[in-house]
Chains A and B, each alone.
Chain A
Amino acid sequence: MFCTLILSEKREAAERIARALDDSGTPKKLVEHGVPYFEAMQKNRQILVVPAIGHLYNIAPERGGRFYYPVFNILWKPTSQGSRETHVRNWIKAISSLSKEASEFISATDYDIEGEVIGYTILKYACGNKEANAKRMTFSTLTMIELRDAFQKLSSNIDFKLAEAGETRHIIDFLWGVNLSRALTLAVKNWGKGFAILSTGRVQAPTLRFLVDREKEIQSYVPTPYWEVHAKARIGGKFYEIEFEESKLDSEDMARKIVEACLGREGLVEDVDTRIFKQSPPTPFDIGTLQAEAYKLFGFTPSRTLTIAERLYLDALISYPRTSSQKFPPQINCREIIMSLQKSREYAAFASELLKKRDLKPNEGNRDDPAHPAIHPTGDLPEKIRDSSQLKIFDLIVKRFFAVFSSPAIKEGIRITIKVNENTFFLHGRRIISEGWLRFYEPYGQADEVILPTLEKEQKITITEVSSKEKYTAPPPRYNPASLLKMMDDEHLGTKATRANIIDTLYQRGYLREERMAVTELGFNVIETLEEYASGILSVDFTRNLEDKMETIEKGGGRKEEILIEAVQRLKTILEDLKNREEPIGEELGNAARRARVDESVVGICPVCKTGNLLIIHSMKTGKRFIGCSNFAKGLCNASFPLPQSPYTVKSLKRNCKVCRWPMVLVKSRKRQPWNLCLNPYCPTKEHQRRV
């Protein structure tokens, strides 16, 4: 019997493919070397659908130990990551063994740069050089119809250009990451007074530099005073805030004079300016805009949103989320999707209203992605979703999908100019004439109306209050995950697939803390040291240029070898600089790492002696951790408090309890939600626990 082997990226996708292709819709679930796979039957054809578990092969050094560098000789090796290693080996064994039965090979991994590399490496190394003859199955949703259609329209080859672009990216990122990280780590190790695993990379370093530059602005910010003039007007029995024409006044004297001139005076309406404007519907979601919107609305980090969106994709509820497109190509039957969504009670009314339109035209954005359309619902409805985060993202995607087909919102903006003894004030109002897309995007779109009474020119108004208020200028805000993602996108740093991970890595390495992305001392020192001794790593232009060149491979213009040579030559120069200055680099980074460790263990000022610091201490004798005062060694304070032990992890929160003002720590475990623990055993917040 003719046997076809289909490679998919994940187990859920493999099962869906097998179900779509099996004549009876009930494929057999089988196991090989502990690896689940699916057998679908079609007349005289046996189709084996085998999942992978992400990358089964990764770039690795040809030789050398953990700290060996420089590394330039590399090869693709089975992924080795601790306990995952055995798992991956079994997976490779299973795929190799099943490939022996197959006479046709199809790659059905996610159709993007990473998916193509996953398929290419498995076909080449696990299946024994089958990449040249393998076919490609491409789809953007895991619905039965699209999968069957994709199987009928197989490409005769895998996308070699995409695979080559992916391979180039893997090689460059590996060489830069491993060599630079080892150079920094070894510099500290060879300094001989400490040890710290430090990391940097081609995208990580310029991204961190942006954050450091912003942090420098904030930490060295000197506020300056300014004054605002506030006034209230009574119109038709209601009170309205009116704004002085200059929002910031430089001198208190000027503000006082304006207040004095206006107090007890009547206002006169000088002008009523009404403008009607259209607010176009939003554009369809690409992954970046979805991540930014989910952060704004629900506070989800970009990586969390991506994980949730991928789950929804595997459940065939939405299209492939790792897309840069803000367009819906004509082959997507949007009307049919809306008709399917009409079956849901929640979406029925909106869907019916849209379906009345003869022409469904989306308000598309500028960005395009040849591989996948903008993120959209498939029309399948979520029966299984129990997770509230998944429901939130699904609802957001559906409502956005509705909104993009809707009509613009029509708003009226009113600006009333009021003269009070020669001083100009404004009263602003907003009114919605037609809700348009805002209604479809509720509760995510904001109507923010300010309704004003009808006023006419020369009308007199009673001014009830005039006052001035002293304020201070504020530093620029810190980046948050959404704004950082946008900045990386604007600067061409990383790709849509890697940006969220890079942000996570900056946290894991201890370069950032808190949601508002405050740079730690270690983060500062790494960037400062690189700026001083190897500024080439931080060049945004170089990273952006390399990114653009890698994209040309995808489009068939660039050559892998040329780009690799350029990247490696640049890397060699940087590594030489680092090696020549290893001693001062090691000393500066070693000291920084030591300071960072001390800083990490400080919980706050000791509430008992008021002069020492409370520290998280690990007992050499028992191996247990507890809180102790830094004045203990001087014999001045013996305050100590117990802490939860392993498997809990404890981190300093750097803030005090709102009730008793004692320092607090953050306690985390795998199985429970993290919680904030006040160190005061008699804190009123623990009253309930004590009674229990």
Chain B
Amino acid sequence: MKLCPICDRKAEGEYCNLHETAYKNIVQMFEKWQSSKGIDWKEYLGRIEVNPNSGSWVLEVCKYLLSREETS
């Protein structure tokens, strides 16, 4: 059984359904951030990671994505 790399729950795709929803929202909102602030993907993740209005699953996905970018 595939597990979510963030929380070890059962994963359907890459993440569990909770982190999957958060990931999809992150991807969806990138365009808006890009058009209004002109920033790239990595900077975008960094910005929402420190934003107090970001949901906790969004923060967890951001952390995970950023750590993956650093190791790759």
Contact = CB atoms under 8 A, between A and B. Distances in A.
Report if A and B associate in a common complex. yes
Interface of A: 216, 218-226, 250-252, 472-475, 524, 528, 588
Contacts of B26: 222
Given A224-B33, A225-B37, A251-B36, A219 B56 contact: yes
B18 A252 contact: no
Contacts of B22: 219-220, 222
A222 B57 contact: no
Contacts of B53: 221, 223, 472-475
A220 B58 contact: yes
Contacts of B21: 216, 220
Nearest to B37: A225
Interface in B34-72: 35-37, 48, 51, 53-58
Which 8 residue pairs across A and B have the least CB separation, nearest first?
Answer: A223-B53, A219-B55, A220-B22, A222-B29, A221-B55, A220-B21, A219-B57, A222-B25
Nearest to B22: A220
B18 A219 contact: yes
A254 to B, nearest CB: 9
A680 to B, nearest CB: 26
Contacts of A524: 18
Given A220-B22, A222-B54, 9 more contacts: A220-B21, A220-B58, A223-B54, A224-B32, A224-B33, A225-B37, A250-B35, A250-B36, A472-B53
Nearest to B16: A528
19 contacts: A216-B21, A219-B18, A220-B21, A220-B55, A221-B53, A221-B54, A221-B55, A222-B22, A222-B28, A222-B29, A222-B55, A223-B48, A223-B51, A223-B54, A224-B36, A250-B32, A251-B35, A473-B53, A475-B53
Contacts of A220: 18, 21-22, 25, 55, 57-58
Contacts of A251: 35-36
Given A223-B48, A224-B32, A218 B55 contact: yes
Contacts of B18: 216, 219-220, 524
Contacts of A473: 53
Contact of A222 (B17, B35, B58): B58
Nearest to A216: B21
B1 to A, nearest CB: 11
A219 B21 CA distance: 10
Nearest to A221: B55
B8 to A, nearest CB: 9
Contacts of A588: 10
A220 B1 CA distance: 24
Interface residues of B, number: 22
Contacts of A226: 36
Contacts of A472: 51, 53
A224 B33 CA distance: 7
A221 B18 CA distance: 11
B58 A219 contact: yes
B36 to A, nearest CB: 5
Contacts of B56: 219
B42 to A, nearest CB: 16
A628 B36 CA distance: 48
B67 to A, nearest CB: 17
Contact of B48 (A219, A222, A252, A528): A222
A521 to B, nearest CB: 10
A193 B55 CA distance: 32
Contacts of B35: 250-251
A225 B36 contact: yes
A588 B9 CA distance: 9
Contacts of A225: 33, 36-37
Contacts of B25: 220-222
B64 to A, nearest CB: 14
Contacts of A216: 18, 21
Contacts of A528: 17
Q: Interface centre among A218, A223, A252, A472, by most B CB within 10 Å? A: A223
A342 B30 CA distance: 64
Nearest to A587: B10
Most B CB atoms within 10 A — which of A218, A222, A473, A528? A222
B58 A221 contact: yes
A474 B51 CA distance: 10
Nearest to A217: B55
Given A220-B22, A220-B25, A475 B55 contact: yes
A250 B29 CA distance: 13
Contacts of A475: 53, 55
Nearest to A588: B10
Nearest to B48: A222
Nearest to A215: B55
B57 to A, nearest CB: 5
Contacts of A252: 36-37
Nearest to B19: A220
B17 to A, nearest CB: 8
B57 A224 contact: no
Nearest to A473: B53
Nearest to B24: A220
A216 B56 CA distance: 10
> B18, B25, B35, B55: which has the most chain A beta carbons within 10 Å?
B55
Nearest to B10: A588
A422 B58 CA distance: 41
Contacts of B17: 528
A223 B55 CA distance: 9
A557 B22 CA distance: 48
Nearest to B29: A222
A532 to B, nearest CB: 10
Contacts of A221: 25, 53-55, 58
A216 B24 CA distance: 13
A27 B70 CA distance: 84
Contacts of B48: 222-223
Contacts of A474: 53
Contacts of B51: 223, 472
A221 B58 CA distance: 7
B40 to A, nearest CB: 15
A468 to B, nearest CB: 13
Contacts of B57: 219-220
A240 B32 CA distance: 33
B47 to A, nearest CB: 9
Contacts of B28: 222
A362 to B, nearest CB: 44
Contacts of B55: 218-222, 475
Nearest to A591: B9
Contacts of B33: 224-225
A472 B48 CA distance: 10
A71 B26 CA distance: 47
A476 to B, nearest CB: 11
A528 B18 CA distance: 10
